[in-house]
Each structure stands twice: as structure tokens, then as C-alpha cells.
Amino acid sequence: MSANAIQLQGRAAHFWSATLGKKAVMAVTGVILVGFLIEHLAGNLLTFSGPDAFNGYARAAKSLPGPILWGGRAFLLVAALLHIWSAFSLWRLKADARPVNYRTRKPIASTYASRTMYWTGPIVLLFLIYHILHFTIGVGGTRFVEGDPYDNLVAGFRVIPIALFYILAMGCLCLHLFHGVWSMFQTIGVNHPKYTPWLRVGAKVFAIAMFLGFSSIPLAVMLGRIQPSGVL
């Protein structure tokens, strides 16, 4: 192995082990996951257009060529795993730096979203696992018919505890997104007295918009605004 290759390998190892490297990994994977959330929300909102539109969207997604479909899923899975790894690594570094907790802690500059980051992340992860089992595999305790995602969704959200759990999880996602998007700008060095307040507001507006978008679907089902296509 050449001296340049050894030096490059050493720099890469240092990058992965450094706090800044872990934050960079979290920021990049966060961008990927946020992009998926936006696309996923756009597709889910088609439920308001009826079963044909939503089922057509689902069929189109599943009819993609195998390499694209499974390659995209693998890409998202790797991004999610790296995001979780970087978050856990940063938590460990923080815990190791202060093995003894503060006797009394008075937050000054931190926000509620940042202080609950390490709680909202696992809650969203657990919800995601249940969400996939429920609406993709059909293991969720409600009606599931392969190839009929619209009525499967309506049947699921007609169960009030499931719908409320979904909305609660979206609240955790909102908090996670607010601090995550805001931190991403900080990590990539976008920090200026003129723009920083607007970026913070933008992160908050984006997080709230995602919460309202995702939560509007179970809420509409509970209120009867989204009806099944047949008899459930």
C-alpha cells in the first residue's frame, strides 16, 4: 500500500471517529431521509383524491424495475442505519464526557426539541417499524388486503388508538425535524446573524407543515372525510 493511500486511510478513519465527522454523516443522511419524507407525504396526500389516485400511486411505486426499487430501498436503509449510528455515537461521546449528571440543570440556549432529540428519534424508529409491519406487510391488527392500500389505510385509521398513536408519532417527528434541519444548517457552516433567524423559522415551519400533512390523513379518516371505497 502506497504512502498516499495509507495517509488517505488515516484521514478517513480520523473523520469517522471525530465528532465533526459523525455530525456530517448525520446531516447528509438526514437530508436523504427528509427527501424521502417529502416524497412519501406527497404520495400519502393522494388519499384525499380517492382510491384510484392513491392505489395508482402505490402500484406505480411497486412496478419500478427491480434494481431501482430494491436499490432505492437499500439506499434508504443504509442512510437510516448510518443516521442511527451517528446519533448513538454522539450520545455516547456526550455521556462519556460527563459521566455524572448535573444536580440541577437550567437550559439556557437549548430548545425543547433539542433536549428531547434522543427520545423522539427512538420513538419515531419504533413507529416506523410498526408502520411498515401494519401497512406494508399486513401485521397490525386491522384489515389488510394485498393490492388495496387505500382501504387498508382507512381500515387502520378507523381504529382510534392507532390513529392517535400515528398523530403522536408525527408530533415526535415534528420535534425531531425541527432540531435536525436546524442543526444541519449549523453543521454545514450556514451561520450568519442576517440569515440564521430566518433559517430557524424555516426549519420550524417545515417541521410543522410535515406534522400537519401527515396527521391530516388519520384525522380525516376519524372525522369521516376520507371514506372507504367499499364496505369494510
The pLDDT tens digits of the residues spanning 157-168 come to 999 999 999 999
Domain-embedded: residue 1: no
* Grid cell digits, residue 2: 502506497
pLDDT, tens only, 200-225: 888 889 999 999 999 999 999 999 99
pLDDT band at residue 98 under the 50/70/90 scheme: low
Domain-embedded: residue 71: yes
CA distances from 125 to 9, 29, 139 (A): 33, 15, 17
Task: Provide the H-helix boundaries in 18-65.
Answer: 19-44, 51-62
Domain-embedded: residue 65: yes
CA distances from 6 to 3, 15, 17, 26, 84 (A): 5, 14, 17, 26, 29
Is 80 exceeded by the pLDDT of residue 112?
no
- Phi first, then psi, for residue 65 (nearest 5°) are -55, 145
Domain-embedded: residue 108: no
Range of 149's domain?
A: 20-99+116-222
Domains of the chain: total: 1
Domain-embedded: residue 5: no
Q: What is the pTM of this model?
A: 0.80
Domain-embedded: residue 46: yes
pLDDT band at residue 20 under the 50/70/90 scheme: confident
Looking at residues 7-26, what average pLDDT do you find?
66
In this prediction, residue 57 carries a pLDDT of: 94
User: Torsion-angle region of residue 127: left (phi > 0), alpha (psi -120 to 50) or beta?
Assistant: alpha
User: Torsion-angle region of residue 189: left (phi > 0), alpha (psi -120 to 50) or beta?
Assistant: left
Among candidate residues 169, 177, 175, 179, the one with its CA nearest the CA of residue 214: 169
Q: Whole-angstrom Cα distance, residue 137 to residue 129?
A: 11
Is 90 exceeded by the pLDDT of residue 21?
no
Domain-embedded: residue 88: yes
Is 60 exceeded by the pLDDT of residue 88?
yes
Task: Provide the H-helix boundaries in 147-228.
Answer: 149-157, 160-187, 196-222
157 within 8 A of 227, measured Cβ to Cβ: no
Domain-embedded: residue 229: no
